[in-house]
Amino acid sequence: MNEPTSVDAHQYKTVLGHFCTGVTVVTAFDGDEPVGFTCQAFSALSLRPPQVLLCPQKTSTTWPRIRRSGRLAINMLGVGQREIGRRFARTGVDRFAGVGWRPSPAGAPLIDGTLAWLECHVVEEIDAGDHTIAVASVDELGVGQAEHPLLFFRGEFVGHEMKEAVSA
């Protein structure tokens, strides 16, 4: 149920857009068709057991197909992959056209040239407003060839070489 709110949707997007994140593409096989969508709402969650979370919109047509497959891959995009980030958010196009990929150990599509990847299976889905929080258990993982992350900030893809270490 939606609670009454005084928060304006435009202002919400503007303010939350200041929280800079990396960009992932979540992929799976639905039958013999590779499927995937660009997903910014991704986070590490638990070390023991190893779990991550991602938040698909309830209107997503791709998420039900990924969930049905049981196995999914999370592809962390590198700075040179903004076109892939855009393409996997478009509707009515073949998102995998021209995109190189190979199967993960359990067969989910791993996009070539990413920063890093995870292969997971969904263990829980939590209802959350207009999104679902999906908790996924990590089965396999690795780093890729890209060295610098693609970022999403204030509604745009950004990213450049990250040379300076900032002490925590």
Ligand X SMILES: Cc1cc2nc3c(=O)[nH]c(=O)nc-3n(C[C@H](O)[C@H](O)[C@H](O)COP(=O)(O)O)c2cc1C
For residue 57, count CB atoms less than 10 angstroms from its CB and return exposed for 0-12, middle for 13-18, buried for 19 or more: middle
Beta bridge partner(s), residue 74? 26, 118
User: 85-113 burial, b if ≥16 CB within 10 A, otherwise e?
Assistant: bebbeeeeeebbeebebeebebebbbbeb
**Residue 109 in the binding site for ligand X (CB under 6 A):** no
- The distance of closest approach from Cβ of residue 58 to ligand X in the complex, given in angstroms and rounded to an integer, is 8
- Under rule CB under 6 A, which residues in 25-84 are in contact with ligand X? 37-41, 55-57, 60-63
- The distance of closest approach from Cβ of residue 47 to ligand X in the complex, given in angstroms and rounded to an integer, is 22
**Residue 152 in the binding site for ligand X (CB under 6 A):** yes
Rounded Cα distance between 48 and 130, Å, is 29
**Residue 91 in the binding site for ligand X (CB under 6 A):** yes
**Residue 96 in the binding site for ligand X (CB under 6 A):** no
Q: How many CB atoms lie within 10 A of CB 128?
A: 10
Query: Is the separation of the CB atoms in 51 and 135 below 8 Å?
Result: yes
- The distance of closest approach from Cβ of residue 168 to ligand X in the complex, given in angstroms and rounded to an integer, is 26
Size of the site for ligand X (CB under 6 A): 18
Closer CB to ligand X, residue 41 or residue 116?
A: 41
**Residue 150 in the binding site for ligand X (CB under 6 A):** no
Residues in contact with ligand X by CB under 6 A are: 23, 37-41, 55-57, 60-63, 85, 88-89, 91, 152
